[in-house]
Structure 1
Amino acid sequence: MADWSGPELLDAYARKQVSPVEVTKAVIARIENYEPRLQALYAFDPDAALRDAKGSEERWMTGEARALDGVPATIKENIATRGTPVPLGTAARPLVPASEDAPSAARLREDGVVILAKTTMPDYGMLSSGLSSFHPLARNPWDLSKNPGGSSAGAGAAAAAGYGPFHIGTDIGGSIRLPAAWCGVFGLKPSFGRIPIDPTYYGRVAGPMTRTVRDAALMMKSLTRPDPRDPMSLPYQNLPWLDLGVDIRGLKIGVMMEAGVGMPLDPEIRATVENAAKIFADAGATIEEVPAFITREMLDGLDDFWRQRAWMDIGPLSDEERSRVLPYILQWAEGGRSLTGAQVYQGMNQMMVMRHAAVAATHRFDFVISPVAPCVAYQAELASPIHDPEEPFEHIGYTVAFNMSDQPAASVNACFTKAGLPIGLQIIGRRFDDIGVLRLSQAWEEMCPARRPWPTL
C-alpha cells in the first residue's frame, strides 16, 4: 500500500477495500525501514499522522470524505506547518515553531491529506544537494552513495522511496526539477504565481513531486486554490487538471540540447534527449533545434545577486551563529559581502535579460524539451557537482532561465545510465500553460521505453 498512487488510494477508500489508517501504517513501516539509511525526513510524527488518518477513516465511513482524504504526504521543510520550526536547512537559525500552515500545507490539510513529515533541504535552500548543517545527509534511494539533488532533497528521495504518493518541493533555480531528475520521479515547477506561496520571492515557486504525472495533477487541484498571503499569485483558474489527454500530431517541439554555459553535457544524457526527440517525432510532432541562449554574463550576474541576497541573511548573524552555517554556503555568501550596489543591480538586470532571452527562444514552440542537468546524481557528500563555491551554478543552465521567465517546466524520468542512475527529461511550456506541460509529460510517461521498478533498500 505504500506504493499505491493517489487515485488508487482514493478509489480503494471509496470502495471500503482499505482504510487510511492501514495505509498510513504501511507508509510508516516503509519509513521506519528505509529512513535510517535515506535520511530524507525532518519532524517525522507517526502518532500525529495516525490521529489524522483515524479522522479521515471516520469521514470516509460517514460519507463526509474530502477531496484527498487519507492520502499520505510530505512537505518540504521551508513550507511552514503549524507548530513545527522552520530551520531552512541551517543550524544557524533559532528553532521557533511556525504559527500557521503556509498556503500549500493549508490546502492539503483542508482536503484531508495525512501529513507524515517535513522533508530535508540544504542551508537556506541554496544547494542542489542534500548536504545541510542542520539535517543529516540525505541520500539517493537508487544509489545510497549518490546525492538526491536539491534543494528539495528529501522530497525527491521520499518520492522515489515510496513515502506515500504526495510530496511538495520548492524551486527558484531548479530545486524541484534537479532532485526529480536525479531521483527518477516527476517534478513540476509551475508558472510563477500558479500555486500561492508564503513567503513569496522573485522566481520562487512550490510544486508537486510524485512518482506519476497524474498524482501531480491531482495535487494541483488543491494547491492552486487562492491564498491572500501571496500578493504575487495569479488569479485563480478552475483548470481541468485531470484532463491529461493530448494529440502529439502537429505539435511544434523545440529541442534545447546545449545550455550555452556551464558543465559539458554527459553523453548518456545527450543520447537520452535525442531519443526522446525521435519518439516525439515518430508520434507526429515537428522537431526543431533551439539554440543555446544563456550567457556567462547572465549566469555570473545571477550569482552576484544571490550571493548578496544570501549575505543579507548571514551577515547580520553573530560570529557564533555564523560558524554554524555550512562552510561551503558561508564561503559562497561572503562573496557577496563586498559587492557594490551597482554590481548587485547589474546582477539583477542580467536576470531580466535571461528572462527575455528565455521567452524569445521558446515562444514560437508549443513545448521545448531539454536535459534537466548536464550530469547525473553525484557523490552524496558534495555540495554541488563541481563542489566549488566559486563555480556554484555550472549545473543549472538548463533550469534557471525558466524560473526567471515564469514558464512552467517539469522533469520526467526518461532513461537510466549504464550504472543505473536516473536521467530526467525537462519539458517546458509557454507561460501559464501548466496544463500543457502536464499533458505532454503524461504522454511521455506512457511512451517512455525505459521504465524500471522503484528502488528498494
Structure 2
Amino acid sequence: MTSPDMPSRPLHDWSATELVAAYAARQLSPVEVTQAVLAHIERWEGKLHALYALDAEAALAQARASEARWLEGEPLVGPQGACLDGVPATLKENIATRGTPMPLGTAATELVPAAEDAPPAARLREAGAVLLAKTTMPDYGMLSSGLSSFHALTRNPWDLGKNPGGSSAGAAAAAAAGYGPLHVGTDIGGSVRLPAGWCGIFTLKPSLGRIPIKPPFAGRVAGPMTRTVADAAQLMAHLSRPDWRDGMSLPWQDNIPWLALGEQDMPPLRGLKLGLMMDAGWGLTVEPETAAAVQAAARAFEAAGASVEPLRGFSTRTMIDGLDAFWRMRSWLDISALPEARRNKVLPYIRAWVDRGASLTAAELYHGYSQMAALRDAAIAACEPFDYVLSPVSPGPAFPAEWASPINDPQRPFEHIAFTLPYNMSEQPAASINCGYTAAGLPIGLQIIGKRFDDLGVLRMASAWERMRGAQRPWPEVPG
C-alpha cells in the first residue's frame, strides 16, 4: 500500500518511528518491510560482511506474527508508548540469543548454542522487533576494527577500502548500509562510539547499568546504534527495562521520558555551560579535518546561546598504561588457558598484545587495576564544572580495512581511544553523532558527554545537534 504522505525512500531506509506510524495507519506491513530489508541485505552483504547467523525464515515468521498483531489492533507497546513491533533489528554477536552459537568473533571459540537470551535480546523479543541476524565483531571484541579470525573482513559502506571500526563493527556498518533501522552493540572503551563515528550513525553509550547486560563487567555497556536519535530513544525505552541477571544494573526508572525529544521538550541551550576538549592528554593528535568539524559544532552550540570553554585533557599515560597491563593480563589468562590448536587461531595481533601478560608481576597487575578508579575520578572531576562536554570521538577518520587499529601496532593498541575510554571507567553517558565529512567523504563523529545518569540529557543534546546540523549526505548505496 502507498499513501501520498508516506516517505518516498526505499523501505530499508525508513526509520523505526516512520515504520511504526505506517503500521498503525495500515499503510505498510511488517512482512513487506522485512522482505525489502532482506532483499537489500542480499545486495550489500557480499561486499560488506556485516552479519552473522542471518535467518531469513525466522525473521519472516516474526514479521508475520507482528502483522497479525497489527491487524488485530493489538501491537506490543512498551513503556511510555514506545513501540518496536515489526521493526527489523540486529544484535551484536556477543549478546546471546537462545539457540545461536556465540563465537565472540574468533575462530578459537567452540560453537555451542546459547542457552538463553541475554537481557538486550530478551527485551527486543518482548517488544516484537524482527530479529534479522547477529552482527560481526573482532576476536573477543579486543579491536576497534572489523578484522576477525572467524568472520569475513567487515568493511565500511562509505568506502569499502576503509574499516568500520569496532568492536561493534557489523552493527555500525549495517546501520549505515540500511540493514533496517535498529541495531544494538556493546562498548567497554569506545566500541559503539568509534564505529558510529567512522560510519556516520548515532549511538549512545549509556551510563553503566542503565541497560542490563550479561555478563556485566566494569565499564561494559550495551547501546543503541541507529541513524536517528529518535530511533535510539525508542530502543532505550525498551532496553533499559530491568533484568535481575545484571547485578550491576541501575534501579528501574519508569519516569524517564525517553521519547520526549520534540522541540517543545528541549531544554534551552541558552545558559548551558559546555566544555570542549580537543586534546585528551595522551594518544594520537586530532587530525585537522576532524578538529575543524568538532570546533564548528561547538561554535553552533555557542551561537544557539550556550557558553563553550576549553577543557584540558585529564587522563594520563600512567592511567592508560596501567589499564593496558590489567587488560593484557586478563586476556592472557583467558587465551593461554586454551588448547594450543585453538590458541593459535586467535588473530596474531591480539596474541602479540596479550603475550606481555605472562611477565607481569602482581604489583603491576594491582597498579593497573587501580587506574580504573584513577581515571573515573579524573573524568568526573573534569566534567563537573560543565553541563555537557564536547570532543571528537576519535582523532581521525576511518583507516584501512585490513588494519587492526588506526596505527596497526599491537604494542600501542589504545592510542585512538583517548577520547572514549574515560567515560566507560567514569560510568558517564556519551553519544556519538555525525558532525561532518572529510574531503574524501568519510564521516566525522562528535562526542557529547553528560554527567552520570543523565542519559536523557545527552539524547536531548544530540537531538538538538541533529536539528542544527541540517541535511546530511545521502547514505551509501550498494556499489555497482
Task: Find out whether 1:243 has 2:260 as its counterpart.
Answer: yes
Equivalent in 224, 233, 237 of residue 221 of structure 1 = 237
C-alpha distance after superposition, 1:29-73 (max 9, x if no partner)? 010000000000000011100000000000111122112110000
Structure 1 equivalent of residue 436 of structure 2: 415
**How many angstroms apart in 1 are the aligned matches of 2:50 and 2:206?**
23
**How many angstroms apart in 2 are the aligned matches of 1:326 and 1:173?**
20
Name the amino acid aligned to 1:353.
A
TM-score (norm 2): 0.95
Structure 1 equivalent of residue 107 of structure 2: 91
Structure 2 equivalent of residue 273 of structure 1: 294
Identity %: 65
Name the amino acid aligned to 2:30.
P
Q: Which moved more, 1:341-350 or 1:159-168?
A: 341-350
SS at match of 1:2: helix
Name the amino acid aligned to 1:52.
Q
Structure 2 equivalent of residue 30 of structure 1: 40
Matches within 5 A, 1:139-288: 139-238=155-254, 239-244=256-261, 245-288=266-309
SS at match of 2:463: helix
Structure 1 equivalent of residue 81 of structure 2: none
Deviation, structure 1 residue 301:
0.7
**How many angstroms apart in 1 are the aligned matches of 2:39 and 2:280?**
42
SS at match of 2:330: helix
Structure 1 equivalent of residue 93 of structure 2: 77
C-alpha distance after superposition, 1:174-227 (max 9, x if no partner)? 000000000000011000000000000010000000000000001000000000
Structure 1 equivalent of residue 8 of structure 2: none
Contact 1:76 1:121 in 2 (8 A): yes
Q: Which moved more, 1:347-356 or 1:139-148?
A: 347-356
Contact 1:168 1:208 in 2 (8 A): yes
**How many angstroms apart in 1 are the aligned matches of 2:471 and 2:89?**
27
Matches within 5 A, 1:250-399: 250-399=271-420
Structure 2 equivalent of residue 40 of structure 1: 50
SS at match of 2:464: helix
Structure 2 equivalent of residue 13 of structure 1: 23
Task: Find out whether 1:100 has 2:116 as its counterpart.
Answer: yes
**How many angstroms apart in 2 are the aligned matches of 1:409 and 1:441?**
10
Name structure 1 gaps, 5 residues minimum: none
Q: Which moved more, 1:394-403 or 1:328-337?
A: 328-337
Name structure 2 gaps, 5 residues minimum: 1-10, 78-83
Name the amino acid aligned to 1:11.
A
**How many angstroms apart in 2 are the aligned matches of 1:337 and 1:427?**
38
Contact 1:416 1:450 in 2 (8 A): no
TM-score (norm 1): 0.99
Matches within 5 A, 1:442-453: 442-449=463-470, 451-453=472-474
**How many angstroms apart in 2 are the aligned matches of 1:290 and 1:139?**
34
Contact 1:263 1:395 in 2 (8 A): yes
Equivalent in 129, 137, 157 of residue 121 of structure 1 = 137
Deviation, structure 1 residue 246:
2.9
Q: Which moved more, 1:152-161 or 1:347-356?
A: 347-356
**How many angstroms apart in 1 are the aligned matches of 2:324 and 2:459?**
30
C-alpha distance after superposition, 1:346-391 (max 9, x if no partner)? 0111121111000010011110000000111000000001111100
Deviation, structure 1 residue 450:
6.3
Q: Structure 1 runs of 4+ off > 3 angstroms?
A: none
Name the amino acid aligned to 1:243.
A
Name the amino acid aligned to 2:307.
T
Number of residues of Structure 1 aligned to a counterpart in Structure 2: 457
Contact 1:246 1:443 in 2 (8 A): no
**How many angstroms apart in 1 are the aligned matches of 2:338 and 2:253?**
42
**How many angstroms apart in 2 are the aligned matches of 1:267 and 1:190?**
29
